[in-house]
Amino acid sequence: MGLLLKYISKLSLPVAILLLVGIGLLWLPSFTEHNGGNVMLTLLLTLLSAALLQFFFHFSGMTRDTDILPAVLYFAAISVFPTLHTQWQAQVGVCAMLIIMHILFRGFREKETAQDAFISSLLLLLASLLVPDMIWLFPFIWIAYIVLSAFSVRTMLATLIALGVFVIYLGLGVYTRHMANPYIHLLDRQFIFESADPEEWVMQAALMCMGCYFFIITIIRVDRDSVRQQAVLTLYALFFAATIMMVLYPMSPMRALPLMLVMLTGLAVTFMRQTESVHRGLVFLLYMALLAAGYVVPTLVFDI
């Protein structure tokens, strides 16, 4: 099983391209059921998100492998949810989140992080205009710099200045009626299992449970290459925990779900990139079977 994992999960470039094309076929029904332009925009942004995740893995040091498994798994995770094929706003949020984490992670043990803190905070706040639930991640900017041993008073002030700039921008936009207030229903939340269709939340619950398993394995890992990798993996796991809460008690469920899926993909890849074993081979096959079931059961069995 360990050899099976090695040959299946470490994709060559031609095989990965064929997989991406095959997974992309799952989007075809959405073009006939929804606005084609909206679906195409979401598809292109999803591919951009997958590319940014691949870039993030290459430079973050979370694993030593350089294949494109992160991009393939994330694209598959989005593709199996037809309801996500029109949520282009969510993919903008994912792109912003990956850029923010890249900016944060390069600040490990750096003394001057005020500029990066300002940029990442402002980008997070601007992305929350499209995905309002992202506003709850703002305190994680501080937590990130604490975990990365780069927190300072100047860092905190930079984030607060970014918040002030954003509040002024939002206030002017709402006052001049050039934009609606996206946070007006921010506290009107509902437990996901009470609001979504059973065919959807069962799948989401299964993915969250598997993600929690990856979360635990990531936290207790002892084979990290360096102190920096330990900090990066811990911080990534904390972001995943935050996105689970956003999905469990969402304002806009389908806009928050891709954020959880991109964090889940990252944890899955770090898990599968450890030493090959029967255990990891079985988990890898279970994860792929779960993604396949997530599309087949609602689409073909329940016809939704």
Question: Which pLDDT score is estimated for 1?
Answer: 53
Predicted local distance difference test score (pLDDT) of residue 168: 93
> pTM here?
0.88
Instruction: Please state the length of the chain.
Output: 304
Mean pLDDT over 24-34 rounds to 90
pLDDT tens digit sequence for 231-279: 888 888 888 888 988 888 877 777 888 999 999 998 888 887 766 666 7
pLDDT value at 161 more than 90: yes
User: 22-26, 91-95, 98-102, 194-198 — which is least confidently predicted?
Assistant: 194-198
Query: Does 147 have pLDDT greater than 90?
Result: no
Helix, strand and coil content of the chain, in percent to the nearest 5, comes to 75, 0, 25
Q: What is the pLDDT of residue 166?
A: 95
H or E stretch at 166: helix 153-175
Q: Is the pLDDT of residue 5 over 90?
A: no
Q: Is 275 helix (H, G, I), strand (E, B) or coil?
A: coil
Cα angle at 19 between 13 and 22, to 5 degrees?
Answer: 145
Lowest mean pLDDT among 50-54, 145-149, 223-227, 265-269: 223-227
Is 222's pLDDT higher than 60?
no
Find out whether 235 and 147 touch, Cβ atoms under 8 Å: yes
pLDDT digits (tens, 9 = 90+) for 281-293: 778 778 888 888 7
User: What average pLDDT score do residues 204-214 get?
Assistant: 84
- pLDDT at residue 97, rounded to an integer: 94
CB of 108 closer than 8 Å to CB of 232: yes
DSSP string covering 2-68? HHHHHHHHS--HHHHHHHHHHHHGGGHHHHHHS-HHHHHHHHHHHHHHHHHHHHHHHHH-S-S--SS
Contacts of 175 (CB under 8 A, 6+ apart): none
pLDDT for 199 beyond 80: no
Tell me the C-alpha distance between 100 and 112, whole Å. Answer: 17
Question: How confident is the model at residue 64, as a pLDDT?
Answer: 66
